[in-house]
Structures are given as structure tokens and as C-alpha cells.
Chains A and B, each alone.
Chain A
Amino acid sequence: MQRDRQLGLFYALPLGGFLALAFLAPILLVAAFSTMPPKVFSLAHLPDFSAYYTVLTQGYWKSVVWSLGMALAATAILFVICWPLAYGMAKVLGRFSLVLTICVVMTLFVSENIRLFGWVLTLMKGGLIEGYLRHWTGAGFDGLLYNVPVIVFGLVYVYLPFMLFPLAQGIAMVPDDTRQAAFDLGATRWQVLREVELPLAMPGILVGSLLTFVLSAGAIAESKLLGGQAVIVIADEVETAFTYGQNWPLGAALAMVLIAIVGGIAIWGIGRADLDSMMARK
């Protein structure tokens, strides 16, 4: 046991040290910069927290609300879309679910840019759908891009695997016997779902929803490539402040808002999940 403790700590050092230097330290730096007066590029100034005042008064909250709202919508839609498929993968489809897994994982390895660019080609005026529709029926339309629903659509598309796999994992944790016992005791399918499957798959539901929500809330490419300028998301504001705005403190303050929301939710969720039991079931 003593040896286990020493080895554990020793083996944790490379990754732990690296993350301390290249993850925690930069975040602390962002936190420090967020307190600086406007448009400075070093920390050698007195903190005045004016950037947070700007965030509050200049209407940036709209971006926060849009980001969170769209993330919530995407999470809800993904839950509904993924539940039946995750159920099939965990309980019904057997070997076919391996094929599904490989196909879905494959898309993760394709740059998000290329996939979203593909949707632009598919949905734009003169794109795959509108172009062929006009070709065959003579009736075209204006293209489906550059609005809020298409951004949510993009989020649903990009983050589908992050809902699907945790859900499937969660459903796989529901013992068949328990479902059958409920059924045998007189429960209908709907009652089995509500009374047994949903509560027992809750760790997977929680992880999947958290992942999709948190990733969607910090997403930027969907709104830029598919949404045009329909709405500006919070991550976009952060980038603009850093690059075109050349206002690091403002960018840092906006980033801190996003980090607080996303990090808060993530830490809360990760804190509740029992990682050992979730991963060991695989």
C-alpha cells in the first residue's frame, strides 16, 4: 500500500506538472490580466477591474445569453436524438454497434472546419440541397445559412458524439435483470424507462449533457462559419477583444466570465460523477 501511494504520486508527476505549467498557469495569467486597466500588455499596472465594468455595461451579456441559450437548446435536442441510438448501441444492436462506434469516432478526427465547411456547401444557395432541388423541380430557395437555428444545428452536428457515447455508456450500466424485473413486476415500457432506465443511466446522462453543454457554450466555429453574423457568441467576443480590439484585459475579463460558467458547471458535474465506476465498466 505504501508502495502504491508512492508510485501513484510519482507516475502522476509528468502529466500533473505539465498541466500545472501549461494549463493552470495560463488561466491564472488570464485571471490576473482581467483586472488590469484597458489596453495594457503587461501586468506591471495597478489593477482597477475596469474590464469587468465594461463587460457588464457594454451589452456583452447578450453574447453570454445567446451562447448559453443555444448550448441549452443543442443539449436538449441531442439528448432526444441520441437516446434511442445509444439504447440500441448498448442493448440491442450487438456487433453493429461497433460499426456505428467506428463511424462516429471517425468524424471526430476530421477537422471541425472541414465538416462545417461541408455543411456550408450543402446548405448554401447553389449548394448541394438547393442546387439539386432547383435542377430537378425548378423551384429554388434562399439557402439555409446565416440564422440562429442553423448555428444550433451546427452545434448538434459537431457535438453529437459527446452526447452519444456517454449515454450509451450510461445505458450499458443499467443491468438487464433490473429492467426485466421491473417488467416482470408489471411495469409498462414507459414505466420501465421512467422508473428504472432513466434514474440508473443518470451518470451517463449527466456526463453527456455536461460535455455537450460546456463544449457548445464555448464553441465559436459554428456561429462563424454557418451563422455568419446572425449572433455573436461569447467565445467570438473573447477572440475579437484579443485580436482586432487589442484589448487584452477586456478579452481576459470576457474569458473569465466564460471560464467561470463553464468551469463551474464542469467542476460541479465532474465532482458528482464517480469516475472509477463509470470507466471500469467498459
Chain B
Amino acid sequence: MRTSRFTATVLMLYGLLVIAFLYLPLFSVGLASISKARYLSFPIRRYAYGWYGEALASDTVQTLLVLSLKVAGIVTVLSMIIGFFGALAFARYSWRFRKAYQKLILLPIFFPQTVLGLALLMWFNTLGIVPSWKTAVVAHLVWIAPIATLVISIRAYSFDPALEEAARDMGASTWDTLREVTIPLLMPGVVSAGLFAFLLSWGNFPLSLFTTGADSTLPEWLYAKMVSGYSPLVPTVGILTVGSSVVLVALGLLVPWGLRRMRALAGRVPSEQAAQQIPQET
């Protein structure tokens, strides 16, 4: 079946249209953040960047930022560790309750987050734990650790079990095998899982809403301001959080690419020799 160039072009334009649709609201927020007026109305008559200075100088915003970073950071580290072992059990080893375990892990991802947040609030209350940012970490983990597990599992599926068997065959202990073979091979998956974990925690609202107690994260604060009347700081802080996510994703994509380039440059001489030894196939 032939796919004509025409079809490919139409599909590509359609893809660009969908991307435009996905980013249009962020574009509006961006425009709003540089409007000088205190009460926003389009078309924007005068532009100003003053709100950014004000947002960055604000004590409230700084407190929110530190708290959000703390939560996201801890969630990231814990998700990577839990997800690593979770993924090995998910994808790599065949054991008795694996199918049930796979399904248990998917359930929190499907679960309505508002209800999950409320259920956790009741649970903490029953256990006598006062909600704070620490309980929010637990709440985020219920949703994010399974996602991290899935991300690492994708990598673990492409993992040839013979590699571990070969290592053991050569006398490696379980721990040696883990350290020398399994961890290095799964590392790219663990890193992307960490990236996912950080970004999802950083942007999460429904779970934080009920589980942070007196503390507040950036998305919570934004929501409170959105529903209780407009503040010119809302689009500004919104764009700042989005911007930091973009920077992080860009780093997450560029750093591995850069490392590969550097390794390729460092290894160029031997690899070229190797290429010359392989006869050209006609």
C-alpha cells in the first residue's frame, strides 16, 4: 500500500494543527503575563514585563517554589528507587503473582485523583497524621511511582535475560549482577522515569489539594487565585512554572544527546578503523 507524499504532507499539517491546539491556551497565558493592565482584557494594549520581577521578588512565590521543589525532588528520588525494583518485578522476572501485580500497579494511574486525594486525607486522619508537605509526598508517590515503574519497564522489556545469566555463569553474585549488568542497562529508563516523576509532581494539583494541609504548592496557589478572582500574578507564575518544566525537559533531552556525541567523538578513531575492516556489501 503506497502512502503518497500528499498523504504524508496532510498528516504532518494535521499534526502541527493538533500541536497548535495543545499550545494555544499556553500562548494566551503567555500573552496575559506580559499585559500591563491589572485587569486583563484582549486585545492587549500595552505590554510590560514588570509582573515577572514582582513574582520573583514575592516572598509568597519563593516559599511556594521551595516547597514545590522539595516535594518534587523527594518524589523523584523515591520513584526512581521504587520504580527500578518495581520494573524488574513487572517485566524481567517471571514469578507467581506477576500478572496480579501488573494490574495492581496500573490501577492508581486510572484512579480519579480527586477521590484518591480525599481517600488519603481520611486515611491520614484515621492514622492520626497531620497533613503537611510530607503527606503530599506520599500522595504523589501513589500515582507517580507506578508511572515510573512503567517507564522503566519499557526499558526492562528490551533487556536480554541472557546477559544476566552470562554474568552469573562467569561467577557474579546477585549483587554483582545487579551492579555490573542490570543497573547500567536500565539506567536510561531510570533517568527518564526520574524526569517524568519530577515533572508530574511539579505540576500536580488534585493530589496536593487535599494532602498538603497547611502547606501549599505552586499549582494549589495558582488554583486558589484563579477561582477567587483574577490576579495579574497568575499568568506570570504559571508561565514561570511552565518555563522551568520546559528547561528541564530540554536538559533531559540534550544532556544524553551531548554525552553520546562526546563519546562518539572520543571513540571516533577506533570506530573508523572497524568500519574499514568490514567489507562493503553490494
Contacts and interface: CB of A to CB of B under 8 A. Distances in A.
| Interface range on chain B (Cβ under 8 Å from partner) | 35 or more
Contacts of B138: 22
Interface stretch (A50-58, A144-152, A198-206, A213-221): A213-221
A15 B205 contact: no
Nearest to B104: A19
Give the dominant DSSP class at B's interface: helix
Contact of B111 (A12, A218, A276): A218
A84 interface: yes
Contacts of B89: 8-9, 11-12, 15-16
Interface in A82-117: 84-85, 87-89, 91-93, 96-97, 100, 102-104, 106-117
Contacts of B19: 100, 103-104
B15 A85 contact: yes
Contact of B93 (A7, A210, A255): A7
A112 B205 contact: yes
Given A121-B29, A122-B24, A85 B95 contact: no
Contact of A5 (B96, B105, B203): B96
Given A113-B222, A262-B112, A96 B26 contact: no
A77 interface: no
Contacts of B226: 113, 117, 120, 225
A241 to B, nearest CB: 9
A226 to B, nearest CB: 10
A128 B95 contact: no
Nearest to A239: B114
Contacts of B219: 111, 113-114
Contacts of A221: 205-206
B166 to A, nearest CB: 15
A23 B126 contact: no
A127 B24 CA distance: 12
A79 interface: no
A111 B204 contact: yes
A29 B119 contact: yes
B26 A121 contact: no
Contact of A111 (B94, B116, B222): B222
Interface in A151-185: 157, 160, 179-180, 183
A14, A135, A238, A262 pick with most chain B CB within 10 angstroms? A14
Interface stretch (B142-150, B260-268, B274-282): B142-150
Contacts of B149: 15
B118 A93 contact: no
B246 A27 contact: no
A160 B14 contact: no
A267 interface: yes
Contacts of A81: 18
Interface in B1-46: 1, 3, 7-8, 11-12, 14-15, 18-19, 21-29, 31-32, 40-43
Interface string A1-38: 10111111101111110110011011101100100000
B86 A127 contact: no
Contact of A14 (B85, B90, B111): B85
A115 B25 contact: yes
A70 interface: no
Contacts of B28: 118-119, 121-122, 127-128
A278 to B, nearest CB: 10
Contact of A11 (B93, B94, B118, B241): B93
A22 B26 CA distance: 34
Given A15-B86, A109-B245, A130 B42 contact: yes
8 contacts: A7-B88, A11-B86, A15-B89, A30-B118, A114-B242, A118-B26, A160-B18, A266-B106
Interface of B: 1, 3, 7-8, 11-12, 14-15, 18-19, 21-29, 31-32, 40-43, 81-83, 85-86, 88-98, 101-108, 110-116, 118-123, 125-126, 138-139, 141-142, 145-146, 149-150, 153-154, 157-158, 174, 199-200, 202-206, 218-219, 222-223, 226-227, 234-235, 238, 241-242, 245-246, 249, 253
